[in-house]
Amino acid sequence: DAGVIQSPRHEVTEMGQEVTLRCKPISGHNSLFWYRQTMMRGLELLIYFNNNVPIDDSGMPEDRFSAKMPNASFSTLKIQPSEPRDSAVYFCASSLTIGNTIYFGEGSWLTVV
Amino acid sequence: AQKITQTQPGMFVQEKEAVTLDCTYDTSDPSYGLFWYKQPSSGEMIFLIYQGSYDQQNATEGRYSLNFQKARKSANLVISASQLGDSAMYFCAMREDTGRRALTFGSGTRLQVQP
């Protein structure tokens, strides 16, 4: 079975550019999570969805960040405009329901120069 | 307040020996889950083991076991018969079943297995 699929795996972009990260959760999973990992702050939850509805976006750092889940098999995390401090690994994860084990994608490594 | 604490930034273990990675947690929720994930140098997050707060027995998955001491609020990971491929970062995480029902992670422990 396919796991959580993220794209792009690596992205280098210039400050001020828009960045869009994409995620396809495991088929049949109802909950989707976006995490960010940095050396300074570790793994932080940005936002999570249940049945395509955003449940908790309190971790989204500022208005430059937005996330959508238009259907059960696709989600995007957008940063506009990007800044160097956004450089991090962004993980998408999914679970069968809110209470179940969360499975992670391989991450999107973002560098903003 | 720190909800998940991993006090060992780094650990060394000899190949074939057992190692314990410490994790303590803080919650007032009576229902919660505890998880361990492995992150090798390639970067992916690999689920290892899960323990529910109401589970009577300690969880085991192959060479991994979770030493769950509820009164002490600790959920230590025990890896038996360490292998070179076990060298990685290990993260403890907790999910509270009320309120914010998503994983909160500790800062991680880097394990190095020496031949």
Instruction: Reply yes or no on whether the pLDDT at A14 is more than 60.
Output: yes
Task: Tell whether A112 lies on the interface with B, counting CB pairs under 8 A.
Answer: no
B41 touches chain A (CB under 8 A): no
- Asked if A89's CB is within 8 angstroms of B45's CB, the reply is no
* Amino acid (1-letter code) at residue B1: A
How far is residue A41's CA from residue A38's CA, in Å, rounded to a whole number?
5
- List of residues 6+ apart from A95 with CB closer than 8 A: A29, A30, A31, A33, A101, A102, A103
Residue B97 pLDDT class (50, 70, 90 cuts): confident
Percent of chain B with pLDDT over 90: 87
Residue with tokens 């994608």: A105
Whole-number percent of chain B with pLDDT over 70: 97
How does pLDDT run across B22-58, given as a tens digit for each residue? 999 999 999 999 999 999 999 999 999 999 999 989 9
